[in-house]
Amino acid sequence: MHRLTPVVQHYAWGSYDGLARVSGRPHPTAEPEAELWMGAHEGAPAGLTVDGASTTLDQVIAADPVGWLGASVAARFGARLPFLLKVLAPAKALSIQAHPDADEATSAPEGTYVDGWPKPESWLAIEPTEAFIGARPFGEFRSLAIDLGVERLVDLVESAAVAESPSHELLRLLLSANDARALVDEVLTACADRADDPTVEAVLRVARDFPGDIGLVVLLTMRRLALQPGDYVFLAAGVMHSLVSGLLVEVLANSDNVVRAGLTPKKIDVPELLRIVDVERAMVPEPGDDVDGWTTYDAETPYFRLRTRVLDDGAVAVPATDQPRILLCLNGSADVDGLALTSGESCFLAPGDEATITGDGTLYLASPGLP
C-alpha cells in the first residue's frame, strides 16, 4: 500500500475553491483548479514513494506490470492501469464532447486520437452538479424550436425531421450552419423570454462565457440533468456531455481520447463527431447496489468499477484481491492500517494488499471492472 500524490489540473473552467475546500486547503486559490488526478496516465501520473525513492505510478507499473497490476489485469490491458480516478470541480461549462469506443479509436485516421483506447466515463456527484448528457427526444426539441419562433432554427429542425435519424441530422446541420453566430444570437434572444425553463436558463448562463458559440444551440438539443449528492451516471462511448457546475468524483478508462462539439476554442472535428456520436442512448442517474456494506456502481465496462462507503464507528476490512485499486477519502479522515488519509488524500492498493480502515470519512474505491 502506497500513499499517492495526486496532480491538480489548472484548466480555465475550474473552480477557485471546490478542490481546495474538499482537500482542506486555503481558498480561494490563485489559479483555477479543475481536476484532481489519481492514476497512472502518462500526462499526469500520481507520485508515490517506493523503497525510499520518489517515482510515479506509471513508471513502477511499466517496470513490473504483473506485480503492480496483477496477472489478469496485465494480460488484458498490458502495462497500463486501465482506470483513472478524478475529482472534478467545474465552475464554467466544459466543452461539449464525446468519446470513441475501442473500434472507433483504432479505425480513425492517424492523428485523430492520442491512443487506441475507448474512454467510457462515470460521474458520482459529491455536491449538486449540473450537466447536459445525451440528446433529448427530437420531438421535444422540435416543440421548443417552434415555441422560440426562430425561423431559421425551425427550418433546420424540419429539414432534419425527414432524416432516418432526425437528432443526428439536426446535429450535422447545426455544426455546419452558415453564419452560425447570427443563428446563435437569434436563438438566445428568443430564449430570454423563456428563462423559466431550466434548460433554457442554464444555456443563457453558459452563454456569458461562450458568446456566439454554436454549442449553445447544441446544448438546447441535449438533456439537462440536475444531479444531487450520491447520484451516479455512466457515460457510454459516443454520448455527448458537458458539465456546467458542481463537484463530483469521476472514474474513467485511462485515456485522453476526445472529440468536441462546441463551447471550446479547440478544434471541432465535425466528421469524426458525427461518426462516433450516439444520439439515441439516454443516460440517467442509476442507483448503486449494496454489496458487503459498500455501494457498488455498475459501469458496463471492464475498464473500471467504483464503490463507496461512509465510515462509522466500526472498522472496515478491505480484503486482498488479485487486482489494483485506488482508495480516495473525502469529507473526513481515514486510517488505513496506520496510513492516515485526510479529505482529498488517496492511496494505491496493489494486488495482494489488504487493509483495515477506521475513521469518519467517505471512501471511494476504484478498481478494474473485471470479475
Amino acid at 43: G
**309 close to 370: Cβ distance less than 8 angstroms:** no
SS3 55: strand
27 has binding-site annotation: no
> How far apart (Å, rounded) are the C-alpha atoms in residues 219 and 217?
5
Say how far apart CA 238 and CA 121 lie, in whole Å. Answer: 11
C-alpha cell at 94: 466544459
How would you classify the pairing of strands 121-135 and 232-235? antiparallel
CA distance 218 to 206: 12
Q: How many CB atoms lie within 10 A of CB 28?
A: 12
Please say whether the beta carbons of 85 and 96 come within 8 A: no
Alpha helices in 96-240 (DSSP H): 102-107, 138-148, 151-161, 166-175, 180-191, 198-207, 215-220
Q: Any binding-site annotation on 41?
A: no
Is position 260 annotated as part of the catalytic site? yes
Pairing between β-strand 47-50 and β-strand 83-88 as defined by DSSP bridges: unpaired
Catalytic one of 142, 260, 307, 309: 260
The answer to whether 323 is annotated as binding is no
- Report the candidate in 200, 209, 277, 197 with the shortest Cα–Cα distance to residue 237: 277
Q: Look up residue 362 and give its DSSP letter.
A: E
- Tell whether 121 is in a known binding site: yes
Q: Give which of 260, 276, 257 is closest to 268, Cα–Cα.
A: 260
Radius of gyration of the chain (CA): 22
Could you give the residue numbers annotated as active site? 260
Q: Could you tell me which residues are annotated as the binding site? A: 97, 99, 121, 241
Q: Could you tell me which residues are annotated as the binding site for Zn(2+)? A: 97, 99, 121, 241
